[in-house]
Chain A
Amino acid sequence: MQMESESINNILVITPREKRIDASSATAFKGQLVDWINSGNHRLLLDLGHVDFIDSSGLGALVSALKSLGNSGDLLLCNVSKPVMSLFNLTRMDRIFQIYPNREEAISLQG
């Protein structure tokens, strides 16, 4: 799975370059997120601007990544498409993730 990362204000900004995160890519997606977390990144911002859709496997991968952060970090989300946001609402994920309209706002509010 193609993902770009850059560090801005001590936040690791991760941008998946895929239109869909589903059963075919969820394992790799989760693996990469956990790798970043295990290598000491505890403030992550996932920019979902290129992602049109996430299925249950992809949603599960996000939840796993958040769990592996425990209480000592944050996994923020931004640029969430309408269908993905609807799925966050359906699964109540909107209650456990901090979701921002765009990366600038997310970073400024975390600063």
Chain B
Amino acid sequence: MHRQEELQKVEAIIRQIIESGIPEEKLLSQLETFDHGIPYTRLDRPCTVNDGIRQVAADDISFLLEAWAEAAAAGRLMKFVPASGAASRMFKSLNTLAGLPDILDDAFLDAGVAAGDADCRLGRQFFDSIRNFAFVDDLKASVSRHGIDIEDLLARGRYRDILQFVLTAKGLNYSNLPKGLIRFHRYSKGSRTPFAEHLAEAVDYTLDRNRVCRIHFTVPPEHRQAIEQHLEEIRIRHELAGVMIMSSLSIQKPSAQTLAAGPGNDPFRTEDDLLVFRPAGHGALLENLNELDGDIVFIKNIDNVVPDHLRETTNLYKKILAGFLVHLQDELFAHLQSLARGELDQDLLDRIADFAGRQLSTDLPADFRQRPAGEQADILFSSLNRPVRVCGMVRNQGEPGGGPFWVKNNPCCPLQIVETAQIDPADRDQQQILGASTHFNPVDLVCGVRDFMGKPFDLMKYVDFNTGLITAKSLGGRELKAMELPGLWNGSMAYWNTVFIGVPLPTFNPVKTVNDLLRPEHQPPA
């Protein structure tokens, strides 16, 4: 090849690296990780009730609520909602149906349902119940702008036309919007998106004594403006009710990508020799969380919301989890202050060691009590002085995703949320432990991200970079290896102190497909 062409190619690759925003050292370390592989997490046993998962006693609820109320009044609480996700997966089946060459009518759907086709089954239910979706009024308005009546389209079985209005820019464009902008719930006066529901929820449990509610969303850059506009409309409504909403947005860093590798662990390249970058997963949001300067931060997924009439249980448990964290921090910070003052009284050290084991599940060295007092104090200080999280866990109902486990090789922080993909599929013992798990992670976290002096922790220091995932994908028919960074509540919080608390299933109502919105918990009260 001519030198000029080679030079142009090299320049294009250098431009790619600059635009990726990923430091060159990180790129090289990613390639090394492909070479060395990422070890599987070693499970010790599943967390179960009274063995890693606590149940809040009814008698404790009132003082936990008091602890929450005090922290809320002091303005210590805020909510962090990862909301970058697109709604495309929610509408996957409808997109598939829209893309089929066949005539999409009743006969086609019914034949598909009879043959056991999942997309047809979802489509059938979608069209039969279309009037029950919160977005139906917007849909009707959008259809009528084209001089068409949606009832007419339904009566004539013109389903592809309807899908065009739901999925594409001709109508609601839902297939291309972030999930947070889809109308989820219908009320007597209009409907609400997940953004609106998260704000309504946050008002209930983060409001301070000045009636300020703090909330942060991570959003996709291409929809930032639309989301800002939407939040502004909601903010005005809350302000009329005397609540000041302090909402902020951030974008997942472009550097939150990883290089793709080929089968030989060299960089995967396109036909033009360019590099291929892939999304690195939600772990990259740790940087956004780190930059928030928060104190006590609730984390919850954008698609896990309920309408007002079902919010009581959800919010009660949010307050309980936060109260638990505040109560835990009171004792934790008092111990850290004693240690920081250099108090080496053996009784005190014994009490702190007992607290670390009992409350934070810290596994101190076997010879801990034989060590000199100064050394014991150092071990305790380093074990306790780290971010802390209280995570709600629900009974496993067969949902895919991570769960709470006792892990090996992390004595300081043995309680971890582990994803199925982190566990060796070929190891029968490990799979048995996975199969015995009783609880599931609904992403219901309350995080304490400041230390005993009120100084924010640098959260990047508490990440286990060995907990990412390498997965096999393909691009243009060629195999590639993709790497996900440690997940936000998995490896990104691996060296945090962790407490798991059982929470009731009704606090977990995710919307994964559009038809989940037809479940009773997403419908108006009967």
- Tell me the A residues contacting B by CB distance below 8 Å: 53, 55-57, 59-60, 63, 66-67, 71, 83, 86-87, 89-93, 95-96
Those 5 A-B pairs whose CB atoms lie nearest each other, nearest first: A91-B13, A96-B6, A56-B18, A56-B17, A55-B24
| Pairwise interchain contact B24-A87, C-beta atoms closer than 8 A | yes
Residue of A53, A67, A71 near B25 (CB, 8 A) is A53
Interface-centre pick from A59, A66, A71 (highest chain B CB count, 10 A):
A59
Q: Which of A56, A86, A92 contacts B9 (CB 8 A)?
A: A92
Contact assessment for B25 and A91 in the assembled complex, using a CB-CB cutoff below 8 Å: no
Q: B3 at interface (Cβ–Cβ under 8 A)?
A: yes
Decide if B273 is an interface residue (CB 8 Å cutoff).
yes
Is A66 in contact with B7, judged by CB distance below 8 angstroms? Answer: yes
Tell me what chain B mostly uses at the interface: helix, strand, loop, or mixed: helix
Q: Shortest beta-carbon distance, A26 to chain B, in Å?
A: 11
CB neighbours (8 Å) of B3 from chain A are 71, 96
Q: Point out the residues of chain A lying under 8 angstroms from B275, CB to CB.
A: 90
Residues in A with CB closer than 8 Å to B11 are: 60, 63
Q: In the bound complex, how far is the Cα of B3 from the Cα of A66, in angstroms?
A: 10
A-B contact pairs, 19 of them (CB 8 A): A53-B25, A55-B24, A56-B14, A57-B18, A63-B14, A67-B7, A86-B28, A87-B28, A90-B13, A90-B17, A90-B27, A90-B28, A90-B275, A91-B13, A91-B14, A92-B13, A95-B10, A96-B3, A96-B6
B31 at the interface (CB under 8 A from A): yes
The secondary structure that dominates the A interface is helix
For B18, what are the chain A residues with a Cβ–Cβ distance below 8 Å? Answer: 56-57
Of B7, B9, B17, B24, most A-chain CB atoms within 10 Å? B24
Q: List residues of chain B with CB within 8 A of the CB of A91.
A: 10, 13-14, 17
Expressed in whole angstroms, the minimum distance between the Cβ of B268 and any Cβ of chain A is 12
B267 interface hit (Cβ, 8 Å): yes
What's the least CB distance linking A88 to chain B, in Å? 9
Question: Which residues of A lie under 8 Å from residue B25 when comparing CB positions?
Answer: 53, 83
Contact present for B7 and A96 (CB under 8 Å):
yes
Contacts of A89 in B (CB 8 A): 266
Question: A53 CA to B3 CA in the complex, in Å?
Answer: 25
Please tell me if the beta carbons of A83 and B7 are within 8 angstroms of each other in the complex: no
Greatest chain B CB density within 10 A among A57, A60, A92, A96 is at: A92
Give chain A nearest CB distance to B185 CB in angstroms.
47
Q: Which of A55, A57, A86, A93 contacts B10 (CB 8 A)?
A: A93
Closest to B17 in A: A56
Known pairs A63-B14, A92-B6, A96-B7; list 13 more (Cβ under 8 Å): A53-B24, A56-B18, A57-B18, A60-B14, A63-B10, A86-B28, A87-B24, A90-B28, A91-B13, A92-B9, A95-B6, A95-B10, A96-B10
Q: Which residues of B contact A60 (CB under 8 A)?
A: 11, 14
Pairwise interchain contact A92-B24, C-beta atoms closer than 8 A: no
Q: Which residues of B contact A (CB under 8 A)?
A: 3, 6-7, 9-11, 13-14, 17-18, 23-25, 27-28, 31, 266-267, 273, 275
A63→B7 contact, CB < 8 A: yes
Nearest CB on A from B233, distance (A) = 42
CA distance A95 to B3 in the complex (A): 9
Bound form: Cα–Cα A60–B15 in Å: 9
Beta-carbon contact of A56 and B24 below 8 Å: yes
Given contacts A55-B24, A56-B17, contact A92 B10 (CB under 8 A): yes
Q: How far is the CB of B278 from chain A (nearest CB, A)?
A: 16
Check A92 against B273 for contact (C-beta < 8 Å).
Answer: yes
CA distance A60 to B13 in the complex (A): 10
Residues of B within 8 A of A71 (CB): 3
B31 proximity list for chain A (CB < 8 A): 86, 90
Q: Which residues of A contact B23 (CB under 8 A)?
A: 55
CB distance from A20 to the nearest CB of B (A): 11
Distance in angstroms from A51 CB to nearest chain B CB is 13
CA separation between A53 and B273, bound complex, in Å?
23
For the complex, give the distance between the alpha carbons of A83 and B14 in Å.
16
Q: Give chain B residues whose Cβ lies under 8 Å from the Cβ of A67.
A: 7
State A84–B273 Cα separation when bound (angstroms).
19
A67 to B18, CA, bound (A): 20
Q: How far is the CB of A48 from chain B (nearest CB, A)?
A: 15
Residue of chain B at shortest CB distance from A83: B28
CB-CB < 8 A to A83: which residues of B? 25, 28
Give complex CA distance A90, B31 in Å.
Answer: 10
CA distance A73 to B17 in the complex (A): 28
Task: Considering the complex, give the chain B residue whose CB is closest to the CB of A94.
Answer: B10
**B14: A residues at CB distance < 8 A:** 56, 59-60, 63, 91
* A66 surroundings in chain B (CB, below 8 A): 7
What CA separation (Å) do A48 and B275 show in the bound complex? 26
Nearest to B20 among chain A residues (CB) is A56
Q: Which residue of B lies closest to A82 (CB)?
A: B28
How distant is the Cα of A87 from the Cα of B267 in the complex, in angstroms?
Answer: 11
List, in ascending order, chain B residues with CB within 8 A of A92's CB: 6, 9-10, 13, 273
Docked CA distance A91–B11 (Å)? 8
Of all chain B residues, the one with the shortest Cβ separation from A88 is B10
Question: What is the CA–CA distance of A63 and B13 in the complex, to the nearest angstrom?
Answer: 12
Nearest CB on B from A99, distance (A): 14
Residue of B nearest to A64 (CB): B11
